[in-house]
Structure 1
Amino acid sequence: MKLDKFDREILRVMQKDATVSMAELSQYVGLSHTPCWRRVKRMEAEGIIRQKVTLLDAKKLSLGVSVFIYVTLKNHDGDSLTKFETAVQEIDEIIECHTTSGDKDYLLKVMVRSIEEYELLLKSKLTCLPLVDHLSSTFALKQVKNTTELPI
């Protein structure tokens, strides 16, 4: 789907505040209510707008420890990858899982309350993930940038 300047502006505004009313959105982008509404509905139907979410403050929820974990698997056949990826879905503390190129197979992002909580998670769940050969953890010291907005 080709996006014009109005579509892109609608997306920019909605990324900043998904609760914006259609009346406010149409004012921000310089369209009347109905054409703006049609564009939003079209982008929802096309899957460009997947969902509207509420963003939470991890620190205020006492989830102050972010850990990035590189995972290397023992096997790389399709069944092994599927088993690992299915198991990852069951661990709530894993908030992101990416396949990667190079000598590591996956990159996980984990959020926990403390180093001790991470140690328990590591021992009780992460090392038990199917076909894991090696885990390498790195703790984030400070988050320098955090955005949910795509560069459109």
Structure 2
Amino acid sequence: METFDLTDMKILRALQDDARLNTKEIAHKIGLSVTPTYERLKKIERSGVIRQYVTLLDAEKIGKALTVFCNVSLQLHSQKLIRQFETAIRKMEEVMECYHLAGTYDYMLKVAVADMKSYQYFLTNKLAAVENIAQVHSSFVMTPVKYTTSYPLDLSS
């Protein structure tokens, strides 16, 4: 694992807050000149800690007002069947996130759709078509209380 000092962490924090910042703007925010900021940013990018730069959209404004957390249990747990399930899930555009879990359920999916009718279609025509699913438990988001994509960074050094 790459080690980052306080200045690197400040760069990462600034980019988590706004990935559109250019090097000059980052330098101003962290109190460093442009050239060393640029060099540090390139070092951070080469380390792979920044996976990609993205734009976050407002789900309601693009017609994806219903968020569903869907817990899935598989019938059998062979490597082949697990790979088949994961491959099928990766192809479903409604699935925003998928986690393989330890515990009561095998997977948790975050699904974004327009409305209940759209979710019913997804569930019956896409998810139910995947082989080896034993159980599906859906929880519907009423109000998002906290949503962030930023990881907490230690800036106390």
| TM-score bracket relative to the smaller structure | over 0.9
Which residue in the other structure is 2:22 paired with?
21
Indicate conservation of the 8 Å contact 1:87/1:130, yes or no: no
Aligned to 2:36: 35
In the TM superposition, residue 38 of structure 1 has moved relative to its aligned partner by 0.9
What SS does the aligned partner of 1:125 have?
A: helix
Query: Aligned pair 1:77/2:94, yes or no?
Result: no
Q: Unaligned regions of 5+ residues in structure 2, if any?
A: none
Amino acid in structure 1 at the alignment position of 2:33: S
Moved over 3 A (4+): none
What SS does the corresponding residue of 1:60 show, helix, strand or coil? helix
Corresponding residue for residue 150 of structure 2: 149
* Correspondences of 1:93-132 after superposition (within 5 Å): 93-132=94-133
**How many residues of Structure 1 are paired with residues of Structure 2 in the alignment?**
152
Q: Look up the SS of the partner of 2:50 in the other structure.
A: coil
Give 2:111's aligned amino acid: V
Per-residue CA deviation, residues 49-74 of structure 1 (Å, 9 max, x unaligned), is 11111111101112110001110001
1:28-62 deviations in Å (ceiling 9; x for gaps): 11111111111111111110111111111101112
- For 1:57 and 1:113, the matched residues in 2 are separated by 13
TM-score of the two chains, using structure 1 as the length reference: 0.97
Distance in 1, matches of 2:114 and 2:17, equals: 27
CA RMSD in angstroms, aligned pairs only: 0.8
Runs (5+) with no aligned partner, structure 1 = none
Counterpart residue identity of residue 21, structure 1: N
* Matched letter for residue 99 of structure 1: H
